[in-house]
């Protein structure tokens, strides 16, 4: 009697397990559309993750839907049309912070991922400050794949030696060496299209304001019209005098190429430029190219984090959940990041897999003061970022600091910055 009850119980558990296995097995099949801007030169790290996914889930056909364009300027416009048109991709690249929370979460377009974080034990492996950027009071909204740093200045050590200049630690030092470079026919600082100017702007803003006041821009306690912020625009304008005139027509890679080719001395870019130089151009970090904090920002790390979320109403939800699980895993992160030029968002990452640049970035991430990037979605929502791009265009054309400060104040109010 007892044996037969026992057998029944075992049989029942077996049936449940079988059902569960069939259900999950059956669910992860069909297609998975991954939407991002990691195309071409930016592609290798994502492609490595996709290869890993395909190996784990051979029944799934991955559609790698990329829209080229640094910082996602083009991809985000396409995404908006698709999301608002009720045709979301299964998962999409989005920065942790306001770009996602102040745009897609407030519009109720994202699924809460708290249960996935609990199942995977991610509350313990992602740093608390990052978890804050991934969350609102209502939930956790995306899975981070990395940490990037924005305030990095790149150069080629041999070129600097040949031109007889050192890496400037401050903008004053930069102004002291810039004429010397120009006299040798070298552009002191290369810049690319509009968003790369904003990227430079945030580094200049941090150098003038310091981390405290830089943060106050985003919580609404420092006016955009304050003298310090006008000073940021003025300094930014002076710096632009030492940049290439064809900037608006160059991608970030082309601006980096100018440094690599010896046309320019420096470029300020996120550490995807390190990934581009090491993974794509096969330069050795340290000897083939060098790096330093953007002038005046030593000890501060402007961070951003690429993450992927699950839009409400996507077509292949289970496949996307399997993708997110893999992204957050140690194996996923330590495969993606050494190629991408970013560090893992996890605290238990294996640093021996990372090159010397990334090891130094990991050290700075642990020890520096951390602030969030404007150009890459941490501190402001899409509305502000779009309107700020227009303010930037106007400034690039007019160089009028006061007008830019007034315009930025107006767009900050309209976009609800700090409220």
Q: Which chain residues interact with ligand GAL by CB under 6 A?
A: 37-38, 42, 70-72, 148, 252, 270, 272, 304, 306, 376
Q: How far is the CB of 76 from ligand GAL (least distance, A)?
A: 10
Q: How far is the CB of 304 from ligand GAL (least distance, A)?
A: 5
Facing residues of 136 across strands? Answer: 139
Q: Which residue in this structure is represented by tokens 């992602």?
A: 126
Shortest distance, CB of residue 376 to ligand GAL, whole angstroms?
Answer: 4
Q: What is the DSSP string of 9-32?
A: HHHHHHHHHHHHHHHHHHHS-EEE
Shortest Cβ distance from residue 71 to ligand GAL (Å)?
Answer: 4
Phi first, then psi: what are they for 258, rounded to 5°?
Answer: -60, -35
Nearest by Cα to 371 from 304, 326, 287, 279: 304
What are the backbone dihedrals phi and psi of residue 184, each rounded to the nearest 5 degrees, phi first?
Answer: -100, 10
Shortest Cβ 256–ligand GAL spacing (Å): 11
Smallest CA-to-CA distance from 216 within 230, 206, 204 is with 206
Pick between residue 208 and residue 268 the one whose CB is nearest to ligand GAL: 268
Give least dist CB 248 to ligand GAL, A: 17
For 412, other C-beta atoms within 10 Å of its C-beta total 23
CA distance 227 to 126: 38
> Residue 108: which region, alpha, beta or left (left: phi > 0; alpha: psi -120 to 50)?
left
Q: How far apart are CA 35 and CA 64, in angstroms?
A: 7
Specify whether the CB–CB gap between 157 and 290 falls below 8 A. yes
Instruction: Let me know how many helices (H) and strands (E) the chain has, helices first.
Output: 18, 14
Q: Which residue is nearest to ligand GAL (CB)?
A: 70
Nearest approach, Cβ of residue 270 and ligand GAL (Å): 6
Question: Residue 96 or 324: which CB sits closer to ligand GAL?
Answer: 96
Judged by beta carbon, residue 242 or residue 308, the one nearer ligand GAL is: 308
Q: Are 309 and 143 in contact (CB under 8 A)?
A: yes
């Amino acid at each position: 009697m007892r044996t037969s009850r026992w057998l029944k119980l075992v049989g029942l558990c077996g049936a449940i397990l079988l059902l569960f296995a069939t259900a999950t097995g059956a669910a992860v099949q069909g297609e998975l559309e991954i939407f991002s801007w990691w195309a071409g030169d930016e592609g290798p790290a994502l492609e490595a993750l996709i290869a890993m996914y395909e190996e784990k889930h051979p029944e799934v056909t991955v559609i790698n839907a990329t829209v080229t364009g640094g910082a996602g300027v083009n991809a985000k416009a396409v995404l908006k049309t698709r999301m608002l048109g009720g045709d979301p991709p299964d998962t999409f690249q989005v920065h942790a912070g306001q770009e996602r929370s102040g745009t897609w979460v407030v519009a109720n377009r994202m699924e809460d991922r708290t249960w996935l974080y609990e199942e995977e034990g991610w509350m313990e492996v992602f740093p608390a400050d990052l978890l804050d950027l991934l969350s609102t009071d209502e939930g956790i909204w995306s899975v981070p794949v990395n940490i990037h740093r924005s305030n990095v200045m790149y150069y080629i050590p041999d070129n600097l030696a040949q031109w007889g200049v050192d890496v400037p630690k401050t903008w004053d030092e930069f102004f002291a060496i810039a004429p010397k470079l120009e006299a040798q026919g070298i552009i002191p600082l290369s810049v690319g299209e509009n968003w790369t100017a904003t990227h430079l702007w945030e580094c200049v803003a941090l150098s003038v304001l310091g981390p405290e006041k830089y943060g106050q821009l985003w919580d609404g306690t420092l006016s955009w019209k304050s003298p310090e912020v006008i000073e940021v625009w003025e300094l930014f304008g002076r710096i632009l005098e030492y940049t290439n005139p064809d900037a608006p027509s160059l991608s970030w890679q082309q601006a980096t190429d100018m440094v690599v080719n010896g046309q320019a001395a420096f470029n300020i870019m996120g550490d995807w430029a390190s990934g581009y130089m090491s993974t794509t151009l096969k330069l050795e970090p340290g000897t083939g190219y060098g790096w330093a904090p953007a002038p005046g920002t030593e000890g501060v790390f402007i961070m951003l984090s690429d993450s992927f979320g699950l839009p409400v109403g996507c077509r292949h939800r289970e496949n996307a959940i399997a993708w997110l699980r893999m992204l957050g895993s140690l194996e996923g992160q330590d495969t993606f990041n050494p190629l991408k030029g970013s560090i893992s968002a996890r605290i238990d990452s294996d640093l021996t897999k990372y090159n010397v640049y990334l090891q130094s970035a990991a050290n700075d991430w642990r020890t520096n003061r951390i602030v969030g990037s404007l150009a890459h979605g941490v501190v402001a929502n899409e509305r502000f970022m779009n309107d700020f791009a227009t303010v930037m265009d106007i400034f690039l054309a007019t160089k009028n600091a006061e007008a830019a400060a007034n315009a930025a104040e107006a767009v900050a109010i309209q976009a609800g910055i700090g409220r």
